[in-house]
Amino acid sequence: MTMTPWQAVLAGSALGAAAGWLSRLALKRVIRASDPVFYSVFIGGIFARLGLVAAVIWQLRHENYKIIILFAAPLIVAQMCFEAFPIKHGPESNT
């Protein structure tokens, strides 16, 4: 089954938004935890999102390269949108 360009953009955006939201939710849950716990979740989220991009591109390897780009670009941008704004209600220190 081949994807149309619009399906690729919409599916990439939806999957990226879901991954970004889950990552942000995980970070919000451990924002007041110790530094090792927080950074473990942070690095784990980076690797999980990187693995998601790799898995999606692997699944789309038989598609036209334009479809892969139209899927991957919105996926990455949507994930980054959740990182653009700081998490509120975090620690108050400026260290």
What would the pLDDT profile of 54-88 be if each residue is shown by its tens digit?
Answer: 999 899 888 888 999 999 999 999 998 888 877 66
* 92 domain residue, yes or no: no
Q: What is the pLDDT of residue 84?
A: 80
Q: What is the pLDDT of residue 10?
A: 96
* 91 domain residue, yes or no: no
* 34 domain residue, yes or no: yes
* 89 domain residue, yes or no: no
User: How many domains does one find in the chain?
Assistant: 1
Cα-flanking dihedrals φ and ψ of residue 92, to 5°?
A: -90, -10
* 86 domain residue, yes or no: no
Q: What is the pLDDT of residue 1?
A: 59
DSSP letters, the chain, are -PPPHHHHHHHHHHHHHHHHHHHHHHHHHTTTS-HHHHHHHHHHHHHHHHHHHHHHHHHTTTS-HHHHHHHHHHHHHHHHHTTSSPPSS------
Print the domain residue range for 75: 5-81
Over the stretch 21-59, which tens digit does the pLDDT of each residue have? 999 999 989 988 899 999 999 999 999 999 999 999 899
pLDDT at 92 over 60: no
